[in-house]
Structure 1
């Protein structure tokens, strides 16, 4: 018997000729639309989907929360009405109080009838508000809430506090203060209270699946809005609830200061709530790995940040300018090649303080010789919000350009990423000749200018006929690959006038085709059987 799309299984029908795969039952809620596409891809058929939101290419509101990790308390009737408003092209407002990957997606993919809510005192032009927020609003029009898991509950209590009724009490106080309990993701307390029945009870409340227990040393130095001399004397911290909430939020924002609750003589407790620092809207710095150079090798996430950025500050001497062509109209694009660190910081902070999105675009992957340590220290000092989007490194581009697997079963299982010793000293234990003793595949960065020293050290461990490659501007239009053997490495670099944008690769893995990977040996075939 067919009941409804929320409980019925996904049903897909394929015609007798295998030309069409048709989503019949449970649409995208039950997974039929996705199954339809998968079946069509397998048999080479045409997927037939009749769900309006799929056909329009607009947001799928009934599965949006699940996809993005958000909760919603909308009834089915409310959800269906919201879907009808959206797909019928009625004016819809998007209200965002936090930032995460889901809100980035929504902002980058606004349907034509959806606009960002900028004035919350006048929403009369909308027929629906879609709100991604931990807060509760009182509008005269329908609101479809998505509750992101971004709030942290800090708790303190008397010894052997009776937990009965406390969760409901906290929930009511949150609601009274315009905060949804559905957005609480963690409960935290000090280690003195870790065995309290109240903490065990709250750890299973609503969507909470994370319980943080902190020592007084971990909470030391955290400034709280409502310090208590008594609590400081007993626990060693100025306030348990507030300091734990702030710690759990990574020094985010307190949105509910310490509240005292007392349901009986045996039930005396305090609690506070803080919003994750990483979820705060406003200024944001995103380090983006540009990849080795080809604009098509930046990650999908990195490309999206470039398209949304208000400022793109790129390493002009190392990153092709073409990557900045993803910038939106009005974006400020600056090269950092002629700027010192202080000038870079000043520019980024100017945009950050104006609550803008800044992309700091580094070559390859920012974590490999990316010089981001000083920048992160600066951002930490000023409490600035930042994140890192990784990129493809030039050593991976080198493997692709050389058509080589840098690991060979039973011969080479290690790849070393390093650099020669120039003006920046190398740790004594990481000198090239010591690393080379492992006979691993070595990818040597930033060393074309000292190639004679590099060759000399490598010959202390590798045979002179060891394959080498000098890879210049990998994936750029100017890419050049020079192959040879180790005893000729310096000559290759000098004769071709190679510069700092050259990666040196050394090892028998270069262009190796001998042997068969053990993964395809009969002894390993069970790994591929179901």
Structure 2
């Protein structure tokens, strides 16, 4: 028996790995985060037990996993995006280890990747940015030392900010001293879902543009020059003069 933490992707039911889909269709027990995972991801399942965990707390979820373990039934524990990023699987894994219940993590497509695809952008460009920082805006719980948005902004890397759309004015204020008023920024709502929407602007005008929308949650903020880079150098990968193992 194994508990499979499966990344269902950002919303589009086709953005799931072949392995994740196979496990969803074969596991006799499915526990899924119904508030973030579309039911279409579960199409084709043959589970005996299907539970939406949106209203359950940790102890209730662990008890369901323990019961499945006693029955010897594999569990598809379905999370949105990639479960290793803001998936709240760490506390579940800690409990499973204490109970001696085997588990495996199946990666998924991240919201950041879906947003980059929607914007037709590469988040790492030669001479522009070679680092992507995935973070969140600290509200309900404090950020660890050294991880405030202002401190991360000092790197001027491409930023992917989760859980921050309601605090956009504060985010803009913290970023402006490091990125400048003309730095591109995008706010993407429910990327890859049928009702996806987005706004692209600069730190100088993004608040005004977002004000015309109703982005309240499940929105990601991308910041960085890569969103509107202008001229940039070509990578060495396809440079005719660059020799490597496969091209001499």
TM superposition score normalised by structure 2 = 0.94
Answer whether contact 1:405 1:512 (CA < 8 A) is retained: no
Tell me, yes or no, if structure 1 residue 529 matches structure 2 residue 223.
no
Pairs within 5 Å for 1:387-402: 387-402=104-119
Distance 1:494 1:302 in 2: 38
Pairs within 5 Å for 1:150-161: none
Distance 1:436 1:332 in 2: 45
Answer whether contact 1:441 1:506 (CA < 8 A) is retained: yes
Tell me the secondary structure at the aligned position of residue 287 of structure 1: strand
Tell me the secondary structure at the aligned position of residue 439 of structure 1: coil
Match of 2:203 among 472, 486, 490: 486
Hey, what does 1:451 align to over in structure 2?
168
Task: Count matched residues.
Answer: 247
Tell me the secondary structure at the aligned position of residue 209 of structure 2: helix
Tell me, yes or no, if structure 1 residue 321 matches structure 2 residue 54.
no
Tell me, yes or no, if structure 1 residue 378 matches structure 2 residue 95.
yes
The unaligned stretches of length 5 or more in structure 2 are none
Hey, what does 1:308 align to over in structure 2?
26
Distance 1:420 1:436 in 2: 12
Deviations 1:58-99 (A, max 9, x none): xxxxxxxxxxxxxxxxxxxxxxxxxxxxxxxxxxxxxxxxxx
Distance 1:400 1:480 in 2: 13
Tell me the secondary structure at the aligned position of residue 427 of structure 1: coil
Distance 2:138 2:172 in 1: 12
Hey, what does 1:286 align to over in structure 2?
4
After superposition, the CA RMSD in angstroms is: 1.6
Hey, what does 2:150 align to over in structure 1?
433
Distance 1:359 1:499 in 2: 30
How far residue 325 of structure 1 moved from its aligned partner, in angstroms, is: 1.4
Answer whether contact 1:448 1:493 (CA < 8 A) is retained: no
Pairs within 5 Å for 1:13-412: 283-328=1-46, 330-412=47-129
Match of 1:476 among 181, 193, 204: 193
Q: Which has the higher contact order (CA 8 A, sep 6+)?
A: 2
Tell me, yes or no, if structure 1 residue 499 matches structure 2 residue 216.
yes
Deviations 1:6-50 (A, max 9, x none): xxxxxxxxxxxxxxxxxxxxxxxxxxxxxxxxxxxxxxxxxxxxx
Distance 1:360 1:514 in 2: 44
Tell me the secondary structure at the aligned position of residue 21 of structure 2: helix
Tell me the secondary structure at the aligned position of residue 94 of structure 2: helix
1:383–1:403 CA distance, 2 compared to 1 (3 A): same
Return the index of the structure with the highest Cα Rg.
Answer: 1
How far residue 526 of structure 1 moved from its aligned partner, in angstroms, is: 5.0
Tell me the secondary structure at the aligned position of residue 173 of structure 2: helix
Distance 1:510 1:528 in 2: 31
How far residue 494 of structure 1 moved from its aligned partner, in angstroms, is: 3.6
Answer whether contact 1:324 1:333 (CA < 8 A) is retained: no
Distance 1:403 1:411 in 2: 16
Distance 1:287 1:326 in 2: 18
How far residue 336 of structure 1 moved from its aligned partner, in angstroms, is: 1.1
Tell me the secondary structure at the aligned position of residue 43 of structure 2: helix
The unaligned stretches of length 5 or more in structure 1 are 1-282
Answer whether contact 1:402 1:511 (CA < 8 A) is retained: no
Deviations 1:391-448 (A, max 9, x none): 1111111111111111111221100000111111012311111111111110001111
How far residue 512 of structure 1 moved from its aligned partner, in angstroms, is: 3.3
Distance 2:68 2:90 in 1: 20
Distance 1:493 1:314 in 2: 31
Deviations 1:93-118 (A, max 9, x none): xxxxxxxxxxxxxxxxxxxxxxxxxx
Tell me the secondary structure at the aligned position of residue 50 of structure 2: strand
